[in-house]
Amino acid sequence: MGTLIRKATVNDAKQVADVINSVISEGKYTLFDRAFSEEEERAFILSLRDRSAVYVAAIDNAVVGVQSIDLFANFAECVRHVATMGTWLRTDFRGRGIGRLLAEESFRFARSADYRKVVIQILVDNEAALRFYRSLGFQDIGIARLHVRLGGKFHDEVYLEKFL
């Protein structure tokens, strides 16, 4: 069974939302704390422009993983070379190199869209994600303390960066 990495289309909206929502329901890996509807996901995919993309990993036409790449901050031109990314895989499909395959496409896209680096924020307890991103060449910048409030509790976040 091969894994196909491709850009998401509006037709993937439901499956993309389902994958992200499955990670949200695990309750400890992502900053999103409420589920996305198919309509919201459809609107998001339609809103993507030349410097933002969503890639999906599909096995037998079923979406098992999602990765987004986008501008890190849109308040100033001077940081237009900085992207950010997020990755969500269904539990059964983790640890098989699918995240890495998605990242190869996202990095290729980011370079072609004139980004020079990617900055991400990972919850300090998310050891699998920290290992994943470090194995992709991300280096720690530092820890933002009590940066995220989830379920009434404040959490630290690790900031990491990778030059493209």
Ligand X SMILES: CC(C)(COP(=O)(O)OP(=O)(O)OC[C@H]1O[C@@H](n2cnc3c(N)ncnc32)[C@H](O)[C@@H]1OP(=O)(O)O)[C@@H](O)C(=O)NCCC(=O)NCCS
Closest CA to 157 of 129, 115, 118, 116: 129
Select from 13, 41, 72, 99 the one that contacts ligand X (CB under 6 A).
99
Q: How far is the CB of 131 from ligand X (least distance, A)?
A: 4
Q: Is 68 in the site for ligand X (CB under 6 A)?
A: no
Only one of the segments 8-16, 38-46, 128-136, 148-156 lies at the binding site for ligand X (rule: CB under 6 A); that segment is 128-136
Q: Should residue 139 be labelled a site residue for ligand X when binding is judged by CB under 6 A?
A: no
Of 8, 69, 122, 160, the one binding ligand X by CB under 6 A: 122
Q: Which residues are within 8 A (CB) of 35 and not within 5 positions of it... i.e. 6 or more apart?
A: 17, 21, 24, 25
Q: Are 157 and 122 in contact (CB under 8 A)?
A: yes
135 near ligand X, rule: CB under 6 A? yes
Q: Distance between CA atoms of 90 and 57, rounded to whole angstroms? A: 10
Helix ranges restricted to H, 13-161:
13-26, 38-47, 98-112, 127-135
**Residue 87 C-beta: closest distance to ligand X, Å:** 4
Cβ-proximal residues to 61 (8 Å cutoff; 6+ apart), any chain = none
> Applying CB under 6 A, which part among 33-41, 44-52, 122-130, 147-155 lies near ligand X?
122-130
Spatial separation of the C-alpha atoms in residues 162 and 37, rounded to whole Å: 32
Out of 21, 52, 84, 126, the residue judged to bind ligand X by CB under 6 A: 126
Q: Is 27 a binder of ligand X (CB under 6 A)?
A: no
Residues lying near ligand X in the complex (CB under 6 A) = 23, 29-30, 86-89, 94-100, 122, 126, 128-129, 131-132, 135
